[in-house]
Structure 1
């Protein structure tokens, strides 16, 4: 298992594709899968377009609309962050082909911060042959 740390913004997306690819390269695995896991309840991981930054802007805008300010009961006041984390999920599984992540042309892997800024962690587990 490979563990990484990062400093996150207040809310937003951090491209972690390079770190995940490094874990694959360091593992020596040529065919298999890479599991990316985020061990936080107000953060997540997603795969989406990495060519046009407007896509990430639009995702943030839509998430704000999907998680409005309501009379939530959670005492910390960050219920929208928990909801966003659940909508995206805490893991992604990516195929490895010829020692590289088999992502689409425009895809990148993003750490999603919904309750920052914080020092966060994510893990990469590489399996295969």
Structure 2
């Protein structure tokens, strides 16, 4: 298992971590299979999304805010970050990405892996585990 940290710049944001995940995978001796990526926090999430047009990230953050406005008079959570928890639940805290036999991420042309920050700025920890593909020669 590999891990790395990401310093997020603001309260809400999406930081592309595709290269950091690829580096973590390259440090693993395993090749082929699936990379399981997990964020260790309840107010941050992960997603695979378009990485070619930065307006997509901007628009998504606006939609998250529309769905879960930061300030709501009926929120009872003492820390005042209920919206961040809801957004993190929506994105999820883990993703699985297939790996090619050479160990590289098998993402689409316009896809990238993003850490979604909903209660920053903070330092977030991401863990990466490579689950190897079964060797068909060894299966009875």
User: What TM bracket, shorter-length normalisation?
Assistant: over 0.9
- The structure richer in strand per residue is 1
Q: Does 1:41 align with 2:42?
A: yes
Q: Does 1:13 align with 2:14?
A: yes
Contact 1:94–1:103 under 8 Å retained in 2? yes
Q: TM-score, normalised by structure 2?
A: 0.88
Contact 1:23–1:126 under 8 Å retained in 2? no
Q: What residue is the counterpart of 1:23 in the other structure?
A: 24
Q: Which of 77, 83, 87 matches 2:86?
A: 83
How far 1:31 moved relative to its partner?
1.2
Runs of 4 or more consecutive aligned structure 1 residues displaced over 6 Å after TM superposition: none
Contact 1:38–1:44 under 8 Å retained in 2? yes
Contact 2:51–2:110 under 8 Å retained in 1? yes
User: Equivalents in 1 of 2:38, 2:25: separation in Å?
Assistant: 14
3-state SS of paired residue (1:100): coil
How far 1:47 moved relative to its partner?
0.4
User: Equivalents in 2 of 1:127, 1:56: separation in Å?
Assistant: 29
CA deviation string 1:51-74 (max 9, x = no partner): 000000000010000002322010
Q: What residue is the counterpart of 1:120 in the other structure?
A: 124
User: Equivalents in 1 of 2:66, 2:16: separation in Å?
Assistant: 23
3-state SS of paired residue (1:84): helix
Kindly tell me the number of residue pairs found equivalent between the two proteins: 129
Q: TM-score, normalised by structure 1?
A: 0.96
Q: Which runs of 5+ in 1 are unaligned?
A: none
Q: Which runs of 5+ in 2 are unaligned?
A: 134-140
User: Equivalents in 2 of 1:24, 1:61: separation in Å?
Assistant: 32
Instruction: Work out which of the two has the higher radius of gyration on C-alpha atoms and give 1 or 2.
Output: 2
Alignment of 1:88-127 (within 5 A): 88-98=91-101, 99-127=103-131
CA RMSD, 1 decimal: 1.0
